[in-house]
Structure 1
Amino acid sequence: MTIATGDKIPSATLMEMRDGAPRAVKTEELFGGKKVVLFGLPGAFTPTCSAKHLPGFIQYAEAFREKGVDTIACLSVNDAFVMGAWGNSVGAGDKVLMLADGNGDFTKELGLEMDATKYGMGSRCQRFAMVVEDGVVKKLNVEEPGAFQVSAAEYVLKQV
Structure 2
Amino acid sequence: MTINVGDKIPLATLNTLKDGVQAVTTDELFKGRKVVLFSVPGAFTPTCSAKHLPGYVEKMEEFKARGIDVACMSVNDAFVMDAWARQQGVPDGLTMLADGNGAFAEALGLKFDASAFGMGERAKRFALYAEDGVVTVLQVEAPGEFRVSSAEAMLAAIG
Question: What TM-score, normalized by structure 2, do the two folds share?
Answer: 0.98
Tell me which moved more, 33-42 or 91-100. 91-100
| Cα distance between partner residues in 1 of 2:61 and 2:91 | 13
Once the two structures are superposed, the pairs formed by residues 9-158 of structure 1 within 5 Å of their partners are 9-19=9-19, 21-69=20-68, 71-158=69-156
- C-alpha displacement at 1:95, in angstroms? 3.7
Paired letter, 2:92: D
- C-alpha displacement at 1:158, in angstroms? 1.1
Please list the CA deviations of residues 84-139 of structure 1 after superposition, one character each: whole Å capped at 9, or x if unmatched. 10001101131411000000000000000011000000000100000010000000
Paired letter, 2:147: Q
| Cα distance between partner residues in 1 of 2:23 and 2:91 | 18
User: CA RMSD of the aligned region, Å?
Assistant: 0.7
Tell me which moved more, 93-102 or 148-157. 93-102
> 2:8 aligns to what SS in structure 1?
coil
| Cα distance between partner residues in 1 of 2:62 and 2:140 | 22
- Name the structure 2 match of 1:5: 5
Please list the CA deviations of residues 47-91 of structure 1 after superposition, one character each: whole Å capped at 9, or x if unmatched. 00000000000000000111220x100000000000010001101
* Identity rate, percent: 58
Structure 1 moving runs of 4+ over 6 Å: none
Contact preservation (8 Å) 1:38, 1:72: yes
- C-alpha displacement at 1:29, in angstroms? 0.8
| Cα distance between partner residues in 2 of 1:132 and 1:92 | 22
| Cα distance between partner residues in 2 of 1:96 and 1:45 | 17
Structure 2 unmatched ranges of 5 or more = none
Contact preservation (8 Å) 1:58, 1:95: no
Structure 1 unmatched ranges of 5 or more = none
Question: What TM-score, normalized by structure 1, do the two folds share?
Answer: 0.97
| Cα distance between partner residues in 2 of 1:157 and 1:94 | 19
> 2:47 aligns to what SS in structure 1?
helix
